[in-house]
Amino acid sequence: MHVLLLSDTHVPKRARELPGGLWADIEAADVVVHAGDWVVPALLDEIQERSRRLIGVAGNNDGTELHERLGEVATMTLGGLRFAVVHETGAKQGREARMDRAFPDADVVVFGHSHIPWDTRTPQGRRLLNPGSPTDRRRQPVGTYLTLTVADGRIEDLVWHEIPPRPAAGDPTGTGPG
């Protein structure tokens, strides 16, 4: 099963739209998982239309409609792995132990909020994945999202996809702040 993970898209506040290459990966994935901060329901609707299956949660920048439609936690089993999806996990320090307590039945916890790509294991062996943000890289050198394959209860072929910064106005090289 081919899975795409993304978060913190912030469309249309931080970007007018998702990058084109990301749309191709969304359409190719068996499952798309979005860990919140969509900002507007229109993006949820578009991803639902263009994906085979969408699992998502609302984040702190999402309004009432997105919270009502999505909720703040989603759980599912994909390819034999139990996933939990949440937007916020709190401070970096102590995150692994908090996620062990918060999601004792999950094998993988997907989260967002920080815009920082993250891949660690908890003391109990739970995998924590934050795909970063494809549109609002903040202090990161590039925007990111993840694809992976889930088979027989294992994650295989995990790939970090990098989206280079957009060139600043008048900077065709893309070396300016983006």
Residue 156 included in any domain:
yes
Domain that holds residue 159: 2-163
Residue 173 included in any domain:
no
Residues 6+ apart with CB under 8 A from 135: 8, 9, 10, 11, 14, 15, 18, 19, 143, 163
Query: What are the φ/ψ torsions at residue 70 (nearest 5 degrees)?
Result: -110, -35
Tell me if 167 sits within 8 A of 178, measured CB to CB.
Answer: yes
Residue 74 included in any domain:
yes
Using left for φ > 0, alpha for ψ between -120 and 50, and beta otherwise, residue 97 falls in alpha
Domain count, the chain: 1
Q: Give SS3 for 161.
A: strand
Query: Rounded CA gap, 161 and 60, in Å?
Result: 24
Residue 89 included in any domain:
yes
Residue 171 included in any domain:
no
pLDDT in tens, 103-161: 999 999 999 999 999 999 999 999 999 999 999 988 889 999 999 999 999 999 999 99
CATH of the domain at 137: 3.60.21.10
Query: Rounded CA gap, 86 and 20, in Å?
Result: 26
- Amino acid at residue number 68: E
The pair of structure tokens assigned to 13 is: 């506040």
Question: So what's the pLDDT on residue 16?
Answer: 85
Residues in the chain: 178
Residue 169 included in any domain:
no
Residue 172 included in any domain:
no
pLDDT class of 169 with cuts at 50, 70, 90: low
Residue 47 included in any domain:
yes
Q: Give SS3 for 30.
A: coil
pLDDT in tens, 39-89: 999 999 999 999 999 999 999 999 999 999 999 999 999 999 999 999 999
